[in-house]
Amino acid sequence: MITSSDEPDSLDDAHEIAGLLFAVAEQTRHVFEAAARRVELTPPQARALLELHRPASMRTIAQRLRCDASNVTGIADRLQARGLIRRDEGQQDRRVKTLTLTPAGERARADLETAVRSSPAMAGLSHAERATLRDLLAKVASPGATP
């Protein structure tokens, strides 16, 4: 086993936490895939739907999905074909198209959100443990907030 010079177990902690983080992320990914499958959507389609809690341009969705803008054309096509979103022409800038959830899209999005939120991940945690985990995850989720 390698012992680092200054902080021997701090690095080991980081490594172990990284491993656990990946395990939990994998688990979370499966929860999301199952939730998407339940509403008959692929994961990217489901992610787009979740991002559309407010109408947004295709460019914006591409940025939130962290993919090239050209991909959003196909994803939006399929969501539109399913009647879950509308494509509206922008009136100020006629290049942009605004994606908006239809009523059916709202319902699908609500189903998705419910399924996602009911992850059984923290079933074995006490109330106090949940609060602690929440605060720590918040720190991990926003690494810039280091006072």
Residue 50 binds DNA, judged by CB under 7 A = no
CA angle 88, 46, 100 (to 5 degrees): 15
Structure tokens belonging to residue 131: 């609060």
Residues 18-47 that bind DNA (CB under 7 A): 42-45
CB of 92 to a copy of itself, least distance (A): 31
CB of 86 to DNA, least distance (A): 12
Q: Which is nearer to a copy of itself, 104 or 118 (CB)?
A: 118
Structure tokens belonging to residue 54: 């407010």
- For helices 43-51 and 69-81, give the axis angle rounded to 10 degrees: 90
Residues 63-82 that bind DNA (CB under 7 A): 65-76, 78
Residue 54 binds DNA, judged by CB under 7 A = no
The correct pick among 6, 17, 68, 110 for binding a copy of itself (CB under 8 A) is 17
The residues of the shown chain that bind DNA, judged by CB under 7 A, are: 42-45, 57-59, 62, 65-76, 78, 87, 92-98
